[in-house]
């Protein structure tokens, strides 16, 4: 991904914009390579790679909007896509509260490209798997999971002067290890393969699987819980989706609606969207080419703001401006969404949180998390891959998994400790571990 490739994308964009007959035109061009090594039962069973390109063109005439997409950057494909977007716009009803494409602004670049990651070979990924499998076999465990690397390049341009370009790489190491009736989960992600803490992933995945064998039965009820970063990160995506976007906020469907400046959770909770954070290094502009600003969402328990795109901000008649959080035009109906959630940490250690818990549970992560009641941010899901009893400040034994049904706002209001240590979860979340008092579990499982 060189300067020559950037220049090529810009020439393609300029050609499309010059050829358009619409009053306003926007084009998004993306190229990428993704490589994946999957393993299960202590052996690699899939090693695949793909290269692709996408073009999305949006045209606007008399507030009539057309969007068309192609999986090619060839000149013929781009001409056909432009023509199709204009044809769609011609038969669409006008969007009366649309005020035009954005003019963008100065983008602060984010360095998120690592050449060794882009050049990662199947052998490099296999070596990581091999190190994990060797440890798993010594513990008579079986490892499954993936090692993934990728590289992407994106250009957004429009007829109002927007030109925004970004390139990035990504690396991920994730495993679920089983050891008899026990299982353990661990992961790490970064823009650079060399930043991954593979030793920790191996140690945590295999170690938890071995320690979680022969789980004890447990009843539902309220328990003090110590949630590891992966468990906190399991809650944040849906919590964010139902609360932090401008569309739900405008329509009164968000738990933030009508509550800006009011307490919504505990004083310890501060959450911001910050793609510029050095641990996340996200894309510094949105899919309209507008620079992405840091947005404080919850500030010490107080509802502070939501994220905006140009269309939704335009509906506020000058009271709001885009924060640079537009989705691609093909997903614009969902409205603006956060892309880099950062939860502030505290002054505790994971060991200290456990030591301060007389009777409770240590939770590795949740899965199958779904929304039960959006206005109160009630989510439901199950523990998975390492749930342990805490007694008198010590982890004593594994327990069967539990189903929770809990308001995240209320649960965060009962948080009384967060760790200094934070980890990247799912590539777009930075989360500490936290202790929550009286977390509600409504059911149990047999495993």
Query: pLDDT digit string (tens) for 202-260?
Result: 999 999 999 999 999 999 999 999 999 999 999 999 999 999 999 999 999 999 999 99
Same domain? 341 vs 285 = yes
C-alpha 193/C-alpha 124 separation (Å) is 10
Confidence band for 3, pLDDT divided at 50, 70 and 90: confident
Please identify which residue in the block is written with the tokens 């950037």.
6
307 falls within a domain: yes
C-alpha 359/C-alpha 415 separation (Å) is 16
Same domain? 104 vs 235 = no
Q: What is the CATH number of the domain that holds 115?
A: 3.30.2290.10
Tens digit of pLDDT for each residue in 402-424?
999 999 999 999 999 999 999 99
Q: What's the pLDDT score for residue 445? A: 86
In this structure, the number of other CB atoms found within 10 A of the CB of residue 79 comes to: 14
Tens digit of pLDDT for each residue in 39-56?
999 999 999 999 999 999
Q: What's the pLDDT score for residue 5? A: 87
Q: What's the pLDDT score for residue 288? A: 98
Q: Which residues of 262-275 are buried (b: 16+ CB within 10 A; e: fewer)?
A: eebbbebbbbbbbb
C-alpha 292/C-alpha 275 separation (Å) is 7
Tens digit of pLDDT for each residue in 322-348?
999 999 999 999 999 999 999 999 999
Same domain? 41 vs 162 = yes
Same domain? 242 vs 163 = no
Q: What's the pLDDT score for residue 1? A: 45
Same domain? 291 vs 178 = no
* For residues 280-294, average pLDDT: 97
Same domain? 238 vs 183 = no
278 falls within a domain: yes
* For residues 421-440, average pLDDT: 96
What domain range includes position 193? 3-198
- Which residue, of 173, 198, 223, is where some domain finishes? 198
Same domain? 102 vs 174 = yes
Q: Output the six-digit token pair for 125.
A: 């990924």
Give residue 389's Cα distance to chain centre: 29
Q: Output the six-digit token pair for 366.
A: 């949740």
47 falls within a domain: yes
The yes-or-no verdict on residue 86 having pLDDT over 90 is: yes
Q: What's the pLDDT score for residue 2? A: 62
* For residues 121-141, average pLDDT: 98
pLDDT above 70: percentage of residues in the chain: 100
The yes-or-no verdict on residue 317 having pLDDT over 60 is: yes
Same domain? 230 vs 166 = no
Same domain? 52 vs 189 = yes
C-alpha 426/C-alpha 296 separation (Å) is 20
Same domain? 370 vs 240 = yes
Q: What's the pLDDT score for residue 104? A: 82
* For residues 106-135, average pLDDT: 97
State whether residue 289 is helix, strand or coil.
Answer: coil
- Which residue, of 198, 232, 253, is where some domain finishes? 198
203 falls within a domain: no
C-alpha 345/C-alpha 269 separation (Å) is 9
Please identify which residue in the block is written with the tokens 């999986």.
71
Whole-prediction pTM value? 0.96
Q: What's the pLDDT score for residue 356? A: 97
209 falls within a domain: no
Q: What is the mean pLDDT of the chain?
A: 97
- Which residue, of 198, 231, 256, is where some domain finishes? 198
In this structure, the number of other CB atoms found within 10 A of the CB of residue 190 comes to: 22
CA 295 to each of CA 125, 220, 303, 326: distance values in angstroms, whole numbers, following the listed order: 36, 38, 12, 14
Q: What's the pLDDT score for residue 23? A: 98
328 falls within a domain: yes
Evaluate whether 401 touches 382 at the Cβ level (below 8 Å): yes
Evaluate whether 47 touches 122 at the Cβ level (below 8 Å): yes
204 falls within a domain: no
208 falls within a domain: no
CA end-to-end span of the chain, whole Å? 48
Number of domains in the chain: 2
Same domain? 268 vs 414 = yes
Same domain? 232 vs 158 = no
Q: What's the pLDDT score for residue 447? A: 86
């Amino acid at each position: 991904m060189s300067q020559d490739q950037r220049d090529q994308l810009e020439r393609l964009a300029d050609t499309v914009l010059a050829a358009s007959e619409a009053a306003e035109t926007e084009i998004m061009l993306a190229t990428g390579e993704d490589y994946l090594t999957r393993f299960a039962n202590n052996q690699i069973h899939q090693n695949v790679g793909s290269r692709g390109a996408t073009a999305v063109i949006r045209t606007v005439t008399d507030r009539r909007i057309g969007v068309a997409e192609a999986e090619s950057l060839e000149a013929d494909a781009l001409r056909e896509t432009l023509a199709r977007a204009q044809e769609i716009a011609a038969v669409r009803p006008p969007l009366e509260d649309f005020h035009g494409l954005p003019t963008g602004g100065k983008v602060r670049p984010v360095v998120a490209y690592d050449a060794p990651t882009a050049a990662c070979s199947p052998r490099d990924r296999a070596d990581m798997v091999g190190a994990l499998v060797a440890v798993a076999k010594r513990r008579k465990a079986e490892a499954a999971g993936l090692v993934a690397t990728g590289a992407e390049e994106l250009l957004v341009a429009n007829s109002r002067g927007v030109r925004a370009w970004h390139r990035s790489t990504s690396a991920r190491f994730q495993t679920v290890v089983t050891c008899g009736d026990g299982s353990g989960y661990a992961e790490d992600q970064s823009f650079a393969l060399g930043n991954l803490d593979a030793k920790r992933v191996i140690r945590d995945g295999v170690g938890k699987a071995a320690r979680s064998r022969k789980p004890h039965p447990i009843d539902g009820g309220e328990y003090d819980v110590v949630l590891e970063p992966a468990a906190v990160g399991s809650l944040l995506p849906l919590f964010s989706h139902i609360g932090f976007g401008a569309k739900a906020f405008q329509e009164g469907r968000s738990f933030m609606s009508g509550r800006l400046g009011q307490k919504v959770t505990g004083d310890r909770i501060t959450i911001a969207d910050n793609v510029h954070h050095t641990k996340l290094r996200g894309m510094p502009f949105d899919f309209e080419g507008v620079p992405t600003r840091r947005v404080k969402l919850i500030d010490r328990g107080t509802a502070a703001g939501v994220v905006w795109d140009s269309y939704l901000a335009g509906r506020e008649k000058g009271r709001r401006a885009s924060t640079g959080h537009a989705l691609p035009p093909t997903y614009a109906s969902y409205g603006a969404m956060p892309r880099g959630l950062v939860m502030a940490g505290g002054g505790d250690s994971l060991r200290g949180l456990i030591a301060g818990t007389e009777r409770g549970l240590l939770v590795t992560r949740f899965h199958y998390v779904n929304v039960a009641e959006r206005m109160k941010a009630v989510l439901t899901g199950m523990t998975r891959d390492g749930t342990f009893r805490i007694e008198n400040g010590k982890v004593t034994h594994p327990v069967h998994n539990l189903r929770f049904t809990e308001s995240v706002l209320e649960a965060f209001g009962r948080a009384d400790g967060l760790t200094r240590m934070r980890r990247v979860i799912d590539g777009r979340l930075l989360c500490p571990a936290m202790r929550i008092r009286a977390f509600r579990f409504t059911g149990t499982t047999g495993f």
